[in-house]
Amino acid sequence: MPRVSILDTEKYFDVNENEILYDALADRGEELPHGCLSGSCGACRIEVSMGADKLSTLGVIEKNTVDAVVDEFNKTRGEEFLNGKTVRLACRAKVLGDCTIKPLK
């Protein structure tokens, strides 16, 4: 059973493999920032600090939204802000193994 940890907290959650990250945490009482929950708005954006390879691959909708989110961060905070970081959408990424995340505000 994969474990999702939230960076800079003592929180971790054992989730079922192939569960959508947002749904898995919400079902366990941890609500992440969100908006549309369909992958279009980017409000549920997260940084995956460990285990990015333990999430499903980006689909077309998620990739388009993540690209827009990254572009906006690059414009507002500079390219170095996200340099080497993996951005995903909690409402679209499925958990395949252990990972550590933090919401990106």
DSSP element (H, E) containing 92: none
CA-derived radius of gyration, the chain: 13
Q: Are 52 and 86 in contact (CB under 8 A)?
A: yes
Burial (CB count <10 Å: 0-12, 13-18, 19+), residue 75: exposed
Q: Which amino acid is at 75?
A: K
Q: Are 62 and 93 in contact (CB under 8 A)?
A: yes
The architecture that CATH gives domain 3-103 is Roll (3.10)
Predicted TM-score (pTM) of the model is 0.95
Domain residue ranges in the chain? 3-103
The string of pLDDT tens digits covering residues 9-56 is 999 999 999 999 999 999 999 999 999 999 999 999 999 999 999 999
